[in-house]
Structure 1
Amino acid sequence: MDFPATPHLAALFKYTIIFGLLVAFLVLLTLAVVESDKFLPAAGIDRYMQRMAFGEATDTRDPNLYYGIVVDCGSSGSRVFVYSWPRHTGNPAQLLDIRQMRDLQGRPVVKRITPGLSTLASNPDEASTYLKPLLQYAAYHIPRDKHKETPLYILATAGMRMLSESDQEDILDNLRENVPLDYEFLFSDTHVEVISGKQEGVYAWIGINFVLGRFNHAEEDDPMVEVEFDQTSLSEASQVPSILRKRTVGVLDMGGGSLQIAFEVPKSVRIDKDDISKSLIAEFNLGCDKHHTEHVYRVYVSTFLGYGSNSILKLYREQMANTSRSTSILDPCLPRDMPLEHTTQDGRHVHFKGTGDYTVCRTNLHHFLNKTVPCQKQPCSFNGVYQPNIDFKNSEFYGFSEFWYSMEDVLRIGGKYEYKKFEKAASDFCKTRWSLLEDRYEKGLYPQADEYRFRSQCFKSAWMATIMHDGFSFPANYSSLRSAQLIYDREVQWTLGAILYRTRFLPLKEIQAGILQQQSSYKPPWVRVSALTGYQYIFFLCFGIVVAAIFFYIRRMGGRRISPVRSPLHHVPSMSYFMVDEGMV
């Protein structure tokens, strides 16, 4: 290669080459970073949105994809949920990446039938026939060659709990006997059962925290909490007093008939053999290795039957009617001037008229908490029920069902809960004249609220606040409660938590294979770099080439003399020339 013959052209040519190489280096660096990011998990919250977002159809042709089925047998009907997950990474600290299976249109594979399984109490021999539409639906969507390795769980809840134990067993025995005759799924006697309210609450807690990414301890972008362990419940290989890991979220769920709270208890709790708290606290390991404590959780779950919004509303009106001699009663829990006709259980006709006094309404509701009931073990929340202390300075809760409806359907402040904002919105609604509220409703200004919700909004918002602050003792300045109907625009079912827990030992095969591979093939540090992605290889290769090119170019230019130009300065070394020339530019 011939270099320019004049000093100025040589310097210009040199800088042009160096500048071009640097530009090329920056372009390659940008491409390497951008492309390698495509292979990394999405950062922060976006990573977990991918689990719930409307996605592509599940690739049933992938041989490394596995499946699981959970049938939720509820009180009014049964639903089947089909889940899928890729092969486990082999890292014992990671859980299976379970997601809902999606059909060709990208919709979750879910099917519902009515009525509930419990309606077969007098005809238990029809149980397997009853479930056939759900199991056939699941079998159709799962590849035939995967059926024998696909676990099937049939789990019954509220409706079946109301039956006698003998009626329950008659129905379950029919399923245990006949389901394996028609389907090749992985199904044993323990895969069908009536689960307790405590189990259902734990499964719901697991599902919500999994979707929120709170079980991924490799990332530390979320708040942390120190978790203590009860040494008597751990194996000898895992005797660690405490660990620091991601903070999980607590769950509040209020339906029409019941109320439930579930949250992790970080502090070690002493539980004696006959301790009442034993029935309220579940300690379990979500991981597949009992010697590892990364996924050992201690969760408090309590269900309050009869404390749902509709049950309390009915009880409230009965008591108001029964404690008054008059048939015309002023009700602070109804909007101002709102009329309501009520017939008591004994046939009396009572006329209620709202006064819209939110503060008095809350005061009147306080006695339903039964705070005077003796607490068998301290501390208690209400109705004499034991509840461990909540660290309100380092905790987070999600409120579902009534917590969302009371905040959003009428008041339109769903999401982050703020005490003063909620109290003002609820109070303003209650004290507004009913004629004005009714006019707004008829004009369609409350599209999310049906008539029953609208008429009972004043009462239900007061009951929600009473439960929150007087029942569970959340302070008024608590800022870490969020009401929600969906997580990332999708409903999270307790069935997700159920399959996460019940399939927790499946990764053992991949983990054992990884251990054997590590033992049989030691790789020195310079070989372990092969774990880098292909684009990272390209980046380092290009970086080395550019640096080498610049080095050799400067070295070559430093060893030449510029010719054939004659100059008064004879035999000036080229490096000196560059230095003089650089000073001239």
Structure 2
Amino acid sequence: MDAGLRLTPLKTSEIFLLKLLADYALFTRGRIRQKKMVGRCAVNKSACFLTVSLALLTVLLFNSLTYSDSTNFENNLGDMDVSYGIVIDAGSTGSRLFLYSWTSPSTDELISVRAVNDHNGSPVVKKVTPGLSTFGEKPEAASAYIKPLLDFAAQFIPEPKLGATPVFIFATAGMRLLPIEKQQILMEHLRKELPQMTKLQILDQHIRVISGRWEGIYSWIAINYMLGRFNLSKSVDKSKSESFEERSQTALSGEKMKRPKTAGMIDMGGASAQIAYELPLGHSDAATDGQENVQLLNLGCRDDDSRFRFRLFVTTFLGFGVNEGAKAYEKLLWKRLNSKGQAENSTETDNGKGDAKVPTVVDGCLPVNMLKLSHPQENYDQFVRKGNGNWNSCVSDIVSLLFESNSKCSPTKECFFNGVRAPPQLSLSDVELYGFSEYWFSVDDVLSLGGKYEHDKFEQKAKEFCGQPWAVIKRKVKAHFYQKADSERLETQCFKSAWIHAVLHNGFHVDEIQHHFQSAFRINGQEVQWALGAIIYQMRYFPLFAESKGSQPKQKSRIRPLFSAGPSVFYFLCVLSLAALLIRILWKAKQRQISVAKRRDNGKIVKYWRLDDELSNSP
């Protein structure tokens, strides 16, 4: 059966209903056999049969309402106006496949992209481990590692479209750590071998290592696409005009177009952090265009069309993700421990392995009395961190790490952390910002404050958690108090909450009160993935291609075949027909019963008349 026309199995309740109907039919049939009236029996048999048939078709009708009409085949496998594309995010711990479909309404709009869903309504996503970078020493095995992902995606793509479905394999963090020569050898193996393994479209330029900068750009595109910030409008409701800005350039047609302001994003990962936001139209081009972190971006299919042209500030902070930040913080503690003043005030603690006692340092980034054995690097000796829950002290230490290498500019609002110069005369406090990854997990898993960010509430809850004795936290875990957090999250929550706070307010100078920041995991119910932004950008010229091939969507005829709307319509018409027939048969049966009753009554009257005549004529 065509996967796009699959009917869901009958539920237990539906099977039980059918059994009751069948039992009722058999019972009625037995009652009918006991009757002597042949004509009435025939009517009852017909009515019984039609009743059971009607009930059966009704059940099938409701069952057919679950007819698979999800995005996996874009409502119809034969719809030649739907295109498909695959993005593989080859990260450091694994490679994830995402399957998208899109239509091209016109050359005046962006392609309309949707995630493809499987038969259960979930996005078609598959992950394989370990990361692609682990094949640096055996690149010949990389293609066999990727092939299961492609085979999986091919199940959800119509056979005629496999050869026209592009595959983008973009390697990220893990691959960037490999030497350039090993990166190139591994990529070449994929480019040469994958075309022999699949019918999907494999092009050399679609397989490469991308920079963290482009990861940020793709994320920015995905977020704003999901928010609907690329939608154009000729006129705007004045009551909502604050959320719109008019483009300085006009459309190709000469019309003035308006669009919503775009949102910025901060993505806090484990190894790096990224930020991307649009520079406003009134911002001086001369002041920013020379900066290495300013990117000119056009999402439209025509280079001379300014409606989808953007100027972004985008950069990545390698080594400033929460995990790398934790490593840097441990080194800071070690340096303090070995300084003269700290060494005199330090104590020693048993490491729990029967070895010699190791030095202990008081740590504000751990809950009260929590002990953690640390070994920052091979050339560093072990030491024990003993928490005192001083969250403010933890934030202060992190701030010193953020601006440790600010040799290019002073730690003022002219510069972000790590010496990155900020766009002049523009405050991030005035930008609508979304925080992802650790900006969600560190805010929501333990503190349950995900969503709109309120600084005072966040700071209070962060301090309360860190100020608890570790023994109390463990008792709360046994009582299922922190249901969204695992043990690793609880152990690192103090540090991570302080880290994201310091980066946001000290590193990016976002005001604690006057801001437009919120943390997010999903937008409009969908998880945000930079892969969506990648497919939108990479296929931006598709409308021109579709127009040149004459495959633009045509207006569909109003006269449609009976079954074009799916099996539900067919079942519905059957139910209506049988219902009408059943009503007609029952009406005839009722009329026949009335007629028989009248004949009986007339017979009785005639009989009474005859009896009366006989009595009258008797002597």
Q: Compute the TM-score of the two structures, normalised by the length of structure 1.
A: 0.71
| 1:350 maps to 2:386 | no
Alignment of 1:394-409 (within 5 A): 394-409=430-445
* 2:311 match: secondary structure: strand
Partners of 2:294 and 2:312 within 8 A in 1: yes
1:371 & 1:109 partners in 2: Cα distance?
44
From 93, 96, 100, the counterpart of 1:83: 100
1:480 & 1:250 partners in 2: Cα distance?
10
| Residue of structure 1 in register with 2:139 after alignment | 124
Partners of 1:155 and 1:195 within 8 A in 2: yes
Q: 1:338, CA displacement in angstroms? A: 2.8
Alignment of 1:523-562 (within 5 A): none
1:115 & 1:222 partners in 2: Cα distance?
49
Matching residue's letter, 1:421: K
Q: 1:347, CA displacement in angstroms? A: 5.5
Matching residue's letter, 1:458: C
From 501, 506, 520, the counterpart of 2:537: 501
1:134 & 1:295 partners in 2: Cα distance?
33
Q: 1:265, CA displacement in angstroms? A: 1.4
| 1:332 maps to 2:345 | no
Q: 1:372, CA displacement in angstroms? A: 6.2
Q: 1:284 to 1:239 in 2, by over 3 A?
A: farther
2:159 & 2:71 partners in 1: Cα distance?
23
Matching residue's letter, 1:146: K
Q: 1:394, CA displacement in angstroms? A: 4.1
Q: Which has the larger radius of gyration?
A: 2
* 2:523 match: secondary structure: coil
Q: 1:508, CA displacement in angstroms? A: 1.7
Alignment of 1:31-430 (within 5 A): 58-59=74-75, 60-86=77-103, 88-90=104-106, 92=108, 94-218=109-233, 220=236, 223-224=242-243, 226=245, 244-266=258-280, 267-270=283-286, 275=290, 277-278=291-292, 280-324=293-337, 325=343, 326=346, 327-345=359-377, 346=379, 348-370=381-403, 373-375=406-408, 379-389=414-424, 390-392=426-428, 394-430=430-466
Which sections of structure 2, spanning at least 5 residues, go unmatched?
A: 1-68, 338-342, 347-358, 560-619
Q: 1:347 to 1:177 in 2, by over 3 A?
A: closer
Matching residue's letter, 2:163: K
* 1:441 match: secondary structure: helix
Q: 1:432 to 1:364 in 2, by over 3 A?
A: same
Q: 1:123 to 1:466 in 2, by over 3 A?
A: same
Q: 1:183, CA displacement in angstroms? A: 3.3
2:380 & 2:407 partners in 1: Cα distance?
35
Q: 1:291 to 1:499 in 2, by over 3 A?
A: same
How many residues align? The count is: 460
1:202 & 1:143 partners in 2: Cα distance?
31
Q: How far does the alpha carbon of each residue in 1:110-157 deviate from its partner, in whole angstroms, 9 at most, with x for none?
A: 222222222222332333332211122222321111123222222221
Partners of 1:197 and 1:303 within 8 A in 2: yes
Q: 1:500, CA displacement in angstroms? A: 0.4
Q: 1:123 to 1:509 in 2, by over 3 A?
A: closer
Q: How far does the alpha carbon of each residue in 1:412-442 deviate from its partner, in whole angstroms, 9 at most, with x for none?
A: 1111101111111112222233332232122
Partners of 2:73 and 2:157 within 8 A in 1: no
Q: 1:310 to 1:171 in 2, by over 3 A?
A: closer
2:361 & 2:461 partners in 1: Cα distance?
25
| Residue of structure 2 in register with 1:564 after alignment | none
* 1:315 match: secondary structure: helix
Q: 1:435 to 1:104 in 2, by over 3 A?
A: closer
| Residue of structure 2 in register with 1:470 after alignment | 506
Partners of 1:82 and 1:110 within 8 A in 2: yes
Matching residue's letter, 1:451: S
Partners of 2:74 and 2:82 within 8 A in 1: no
* 1:72 match: secondary structure: strand
Partners of 1:370 and 1:384 within 8 A in 2: yes
* 1:507 match: secondary structure: helix
Q: 1:469 to 1:103 in 2, by over 3 A?
A: same
1:360 & 1:145 partners in 2: Cα distance?
62
| Residue of structure 1 in register with 2:51 after alignment | none
| Residue of structure 2 in register with 1:436 after alignment | 472
Q: 1:410, CA displacement in angstroms? A: 1.1
* 1:99 match: secondary structure: strand
Q: How far does the alpha carbon of each residue in 1:74-130 deviate from its partner, in whole angstroms, 9 at most, with x for none?
A: 2222222211123x22251x2111111112222222222222222222332333332
Matching residue's letter, 1:384: G
1:362 & 1:447 partners in 2: Cα distance?
26
Q: 1:176, CA displacement in angstroms? A: 2.3
Matching residue's letter, 1:197: G
Q: 1:310, CA displacement in angstroms? A: 2.0
Partners of 1:228 and 1:268 within 8 A in 2: no
Q: 1:352 to 1:81 in 2, by over 3 A?
A: closer
2:71 & 2:540 partners in 1: Cα distance?
25
Matching residue's letter, 1:186: Q
Partners of 1:379 and 1:386 within 8 A in 2: yes
Q: How far does the alpha carbon of each residue in 1:321-368 deviate from its partner, in whole angstroms, 9 at most, with x for none?
A: 331212232222222333333345346343333222222222222110
Matching residue's letter, 1:205: W
1:365 & 1:403 partners in 2: Cα distance?
16
Partners of 2:429 and 2:509 within 8 A in 1: no
Q: 1:248, CA displacement in angstroms? A: 1.0
Q: Compute the TM-score of the two structures, normalised by the length of structure 2.
A: 0.68
Q: 1:387, CA displacement in angstroms? A: 2.5
Partners of 1:223 and 1:246 within 8 A in 2: no
Q: 1:391, CA displacement in angstroms? A: 4.0
2:307 & 2:118 partners in 1: Cα distance?
34
* 1:312 match: secondary structure: helix
**Deviation larger for 282-291 or 349-358:** 349-358
* 2:527 match: secondary structure: coil
Q: 1:147 to 1:255 in 2, by over 3 A?
A: same
Q: 1:215, CA displacement in angstroms? A: 0.8
Q: 1:465, CA displacement in angstroms? A: 1.0
2:528 & 2:154 partners in 1: Cα distance?
23
Q: 1:328 to 1:76 in 2, by over 3 A?
A: closer
Partners of 1:344 and 1:350 within 8 A in 2: no
| Residue of structure 1 in register with 2:494 after alignment | 458
1:395 & 1:424 partners in 2: Cα distance?
25
What percent of counterpart residues are identical? 38
* 2:473 match: secondary structure: helix
Partners of 1:78 and 1:115 within 8 A in 2: yes
* 1:294 match: secondary structure: helix
* 2:277 match: secondary structure: strand
Partners of 2:428 and 2:510 within 8 A in 1: yes
Matching residue's letter, 2:158: P
2:311 & 2:320 partners in 1: Cα distance?
25
Q: 1:209 to 1:222 in 2, by over 3 A?
A: farther
Partners of 1:287 and 1:505 within 8 A in 2: yes
Q: How far does the alpha carbon of each residue in 1:267-314 deviate from its partner, in whole angstroms, 9 at most, with x for none?
A: 2433799x5x22x22211101112211111112221112211222222
